Structure 1
Amino acid sequence: MKIGVISDTHGNLFAWNRVFEYLKNCDYIIHCGDVLAPGPKNPIPDGYDPPGLTSAINNLKIPIFIAKGNCDSEVDSILLKPPIATPYVVLQDEKNRIIATHGHIQFDPKIFGARIFITGHTHIPNLEEKEDIIYLNPGSPSVPLNKEKTFAIIEDERITIFNLDGKIISNL
């Protein structure tokens, strides 16, 4: 199973298209929210094109699961064909229960029996394992706070964070 993980695109079609080159062969994609709107604290990113990003997501040929972010609005939910889940997405494969949320609402992933807990919101990539739970934040391909535009791929038992040039930033 190959799962693409992205967060905090904030309406940036250029960033989405760059990441999608790596995700197009995934079984499905998880988006941890802040899909279309830049939000009041973020600059308008180069490549900002919410209608274009809406069209790209609506025309995907692979499933995408979206967790609602703090910048995602009711209008976004109407425009996007894939439903935006609030406040988290729960997925189960053969070996793992995956919980994905935006990250602006805090809760303990142990209550869901999560093996992999995915958040966005901080715009900073992170990958670590604590107490038998893998914590993944794919960062942001659009408005990174660490200056590295990133996304992640979960493939079988390996999780990797990449930059937009395909360079490995972190893996577990």
Structure 2
Amino acid sequence: MLRIGVVSDSHRRFAYVPDMREKCGRLDWLLHAGDHLSDAPRIAADLGVDPSRVRAVAGNCDFPETEPDELLLELEQVRILMVHGHRHGVKSGPQRVLYRAQEAGARVAIFGHSHVSFLEDVGGVLLLNPGSLSLPRRPGDLPSCAVLELAGGEVRARLQFLGEDSI
């Protein structure tokens, strides 16, 4: 089974990475859905993820854009679409990301931008927003990330909330 850590919107803040390491356990890959994607190598190192197994997309706070703003990956026979979401209007809902994933034949669509975690399977597309690793949007929300597990074409995911009050 391949275990993938998914983060977004880290914004150069790393305080919750040790908690992520403790709560998420061993990770084989790290995917960063933008906004300070340059944080990805440091986060991966702290999590023990090999640098060759890190992928990231550019968000609206990534200047200059050094990575693409959309990425299609295939891991364990599962096609994954990654975008930040600012070009897809995700603050109004995930519909445009869903349509893009369907168009690309993706089973999983990872996005960020809203700083609000989201996990739902819609018509065979798993929509996954890990929330923000550092700056949750809504009062009372905790920083968060996600773990995506892939095995033989099967997909499982869970959101992981971070911080002293999380379970």
Runs of 4+ in 1 over 6 A off after TM superposition: none
* Unpaired runs of at least 5, structure 1: 37-49, 78-83
CA contact (8 A) 1:151 1:163 kept: yes
For residues 19 and 114 of structure 2, what CA distance do their matches in structure 1 show? Answer: 21
Corresponding residue for residue 164 of structure 1: 162
The answer for the alignment partner of 1:25 in structure 2 is 26
Aligned partners of 1:129, 1:54: CA distance in 2, in Å?
26
| Residue 67 of structure 1, aligned match among 40, 57, 68 | 57
Aligned equivalents of 2:31 and 2:40: distance in 1? 15
Residue equivalent to 1:143: 135
Distance in 1 of aligned mates of 2:41 and 2:105: 35
Paired positions, count = 145
Describe how 1:1-172 pairs up with structure 2 within 5 A: 1-22=2-23, 25-35=26-36, 53=39, 56-57=42-43, 59=45, 61-62=49-50, 63-74=53-64, 84-106=66-88, 107=96, 108-146=100-138, 147-156=141-150, 157-165=155-163, 167=166
Once superposed, what is the RMSD of the aligned Cα atoms? Answer: 2.5
Q: Is the 1:9–1:34 Cα contact (8 Å) retained in structure 2?
A: yes
Kept in 2, the 8 Å contact 1:9–1:35? The answer is yes
Q: Which runs of 5+ in 2 are unaligned?
A: 89-95
Q: Taking every aligned residue pair, what percent have the same amino acid on both sides? A: 31
Conservation of the 8 A alpha-carbon contact between 1:67 and 1:86:
yes
Shift of 1:57: 4.5
| Cα distance, 1:22 vs structure 2 | 4.2
- Structure 1 Cα separation of the partners of residues 40 and 3 of structure 2: 23
Give the match's secondary structure for 1:111: helix
The whole-number CA distance in structure 2 between the counterparts of 1:55 and 1:92 is 21
CA contact (8 A) 2:111 2:129 kept: yes
CA distance in 2: counterparts of 1:136 and 1:99, whole angstroms: 10
Secondary structure of the residue that 2:15 maps to in structure 1?
helix
Name the TM-score, length of structure 2 as normaliser: 0.75
Contact 2:109 2:125 in 1 (8 A): yes
Post-superposition offset of 1:149: 1.1
1:23 to partner: Cα distance:
5.0
